[in-house]
């Protein structure tokens, strides 16, 4: 079960009220969604989106017998199609939207798709998955590792992982796959281990963290998706509506920060959190995943006609 991060803060900043309309663009196990639903009853509705069809199926099952069953719409799609999904479901002009980025604990621990370097699994790393996959032609981690050129691998590891040993890791991947294709997470971990100095193997952050992050971002095109999702999220907010974004690494946070700045300069939004909100010590102790979480919130301005 995924523990929602910064739950109290999200509820405080989005301030959901009875009768309102909200979108959870990354609904997953419904942790934040449930807290929002609790506050928009009676009369309110929540549209939950997730790229992972397995998670949407599970959540539909969970909700069907709950008190929220008539107040939640769940859609398996990417928030890249946010505006279209919102319009189709009568959700253009909403009171708030949440993006809680990246993967959930379920992906790490149960999905069996190679998201975690601590489990020996097939290298897949797609959020859109199986029969319910939105984009069936999407690359897998195995294809990225075995087909991308040395230069492309270096770029990905540097850009998406900020990995200082990008060149030596990419070189070893290319060398290893000449002998036989790299198919599993543990094979990749072994390659990384042999590409980095001894001290790096013993540092506080596991030596495979950055490579795994980089490959996952590449497989799911996460940074481009985020830019597009944020743009559409602001567009469908009604005046006074709020957008909240929880990010887990500096790349996502930078995109959010810059996007908010540009939109604030254009007079489209007002930034509510001058500095990002992090988790308190008590939450981090209970949920180590919260350690790197950063929440940024902005509010849609009144723009003449859309009052
Ligand atoms: C950190 S989890 C969200 C957790 C959720 N807020 C909760 O508390 O239960 C992020 C979710 O975003 C989903 N996701 C990733 N990229 C997406 C995209 N482009 N569109 C929609 N969902 C996406 C993942 O499948 C994952 O379930």
Instruction: Please identify, among 220, 236, 251, the residue that sits at the C-terminal boundary of a domain.
Output: 220
Contact 295, 242 (CB under 8 A): no
What Rg, from alpha-carbon coordinates, does the chain have?
20
- Where among 184, 203, 220 does a domain terminate? 220
Helices 185-193 and 166-179, axial angle in degrees (round to 10): 130
Ligand 1 centre from 49 Cα, in Å?
8
The pick from 51, 221, 292 for probing ligand 1's pocket by mutation, whose C-beta has the most ligand atoms within 8 angstroms, reads 51
Same domain, 139 and 67: no
Question: How high is the pLDDT of residue 135?
Answer: 54
**43 and 19 share a domain?**
yes
- Asked whether residue 79 is assigned to any structural domain, the reply reads yes
Half-sphere exposure of 222 (CA within 13 A, CB side): 28
Whether residue 98 is found in the same domain as residue 13: yes
What pLDDT does residue 132 have?
Answer: 47
The range of the structural domain enclosing residue 269 comes to 7-106+223-306
Helices 150-161 and 209-220, axial angle in degrees (round to 10): 100
pLDDT less than 50: residues of the chain: 131-132, 307
Return the pLDDT at 304: 61
What is the position in ligand 1's atom list of the atom closest to the CA of 229? 19
Q: Mark which of 191, 220, 249 sits at the end of a domain.
A: 220
User: Same domain for 86 and 130?
Assistant: no
Q: Is residue 1 part of a domain?
A: no
Q: Is 242 in the pocket of ligand 1 (CB under 6 A)?
A: no
Query: In a 10 Å sphere around its CB, with 0-12 CB exposed, 13-18 middle and 19+ buried, how is residue 206 labelled?
Result: middle
Nearest residue (by CA) to ligand 1, atom 24, is 103
Residues 223/80/52/297 CA torsion (nearest 10 deg):
70
CA-nearest residue, atom 25 of ligand 1: 52
100 C-alpha vs ligand 1 centroid, how far in Å?
A: 6
In a domain, 292, yes or no: yes
Residue 67 located in a structural domain: yes
- 53 C-beta closer than 6 A to ligand 1: no
243 and 210 assigned to the same domain: no
Does 2 fall in a domain? no
- Are residues 129 and 92 located together in one domain of the fold? no
**Same-domain pairing of 293 and 196:** no
Nearest CA to ligand 1 atom 16: 51
134 and 177 in a common domain: yes
φ and ψ at 124, to 5 degrees?
Answer: -125, -70
Ligand 1 centroid – CA 168 distance (Å): 32
Number of structural domains the chain divides into: 2
Q: Are residues 201 and 263 in the same domain?
A: no
The answer to whether the peptide bond before residue 42 is cis (omega within 30 degrees of 0) is yes
| CA angle (72 as vertex; 67, 74 as ends), nearest 5 | 135
The answer on 250 and 164 residing in a single domain is no
Report the CATH number that the domain containing residue 288 is assigned in CATH: 3.40.50.150
Q: Are 23 and 82 in a shared domain?
A: yes
Find the CATH number of the domain harbouring 192: 1.10.150.170
The rounded Cα 259 to chain-centroid distance in angstroms is 16
| Residue 9, pLDDT score | 98
> Is 69 among the domain residues?
yes
pTM of this prediction exceeds 0.85: yes
Instruction: Give the Cα-Cα-Cα angle 36, 63, 109 (nearest 5 degrees).
Output: 85
Q: What is the pLDDT of residue 139?
A: 87
| Residue-level pLDDT at 130 | 54
Whether residues 159 and 200 fall in one domain = yes
In a domain, 238, yes or no: yes
């Amino acid at each position: 079960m995924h523990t929602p991060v910064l739950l109290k803060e999200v509820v405080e900043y989005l301030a959901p009220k009875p009768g309102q309309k909200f979108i959870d663009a990354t609904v997953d196990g419904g942790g934040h969604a449930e807290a929002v639903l609790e506050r928009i009853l009676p009369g309110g509705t929540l549209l939950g989106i997730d790229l992972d069809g397995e998670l949407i199926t599970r959540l539909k099952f969970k909700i069907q017998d709950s008190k929220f069953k008539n107040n939640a719409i769940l859609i398996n799609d990417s928030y890249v199609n946010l505006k279209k999904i919102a319009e189709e479901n009568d959700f253009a002009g909403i009171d708030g939207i949440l993006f809680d980025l990246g993967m959930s604990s379920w992906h790490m621990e149960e999905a069996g798709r190679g998201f975690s370097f601590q489990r020996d699994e097939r290298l897949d790393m797609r959020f859109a998955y199986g029969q319910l996959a939105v984009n069936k032609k999407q690359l897998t981690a195995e294809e990225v590792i075995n087909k991308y050129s040395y230069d492309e691998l270096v770029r990905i590891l540097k850009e998406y992982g900020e990995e200082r040993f990008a060149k030596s890791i990419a070189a070893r991947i290319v060398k290893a796959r000449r002998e036989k294709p790299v198919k599993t997470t543990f094979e990749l971990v072994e390659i990384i281990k042999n590409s980095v100095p001894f001290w790096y193997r013993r540092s506080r952050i596991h030596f495979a963290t950055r490579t795994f992050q980089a490959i996952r971002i590449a497989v799911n095109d996460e940074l481009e998706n985020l830019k597009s999702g944020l743009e559409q999220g602001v567009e469908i907010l009604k005046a006074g509506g709020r957008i909240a974004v929880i990010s887990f690494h500096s790349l996502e946070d930078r995109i959010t920060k810059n996007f908010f700045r540009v939109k604030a300069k254009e007079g489209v939004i007002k930034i509510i959190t001058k500095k990002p909100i992090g988790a308190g010590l008590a939450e981090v102790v209970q949920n180590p995943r919260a350690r790197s979480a950063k929440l940024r919130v902005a509010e849609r301005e009144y723009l003449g006609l859309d009052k």
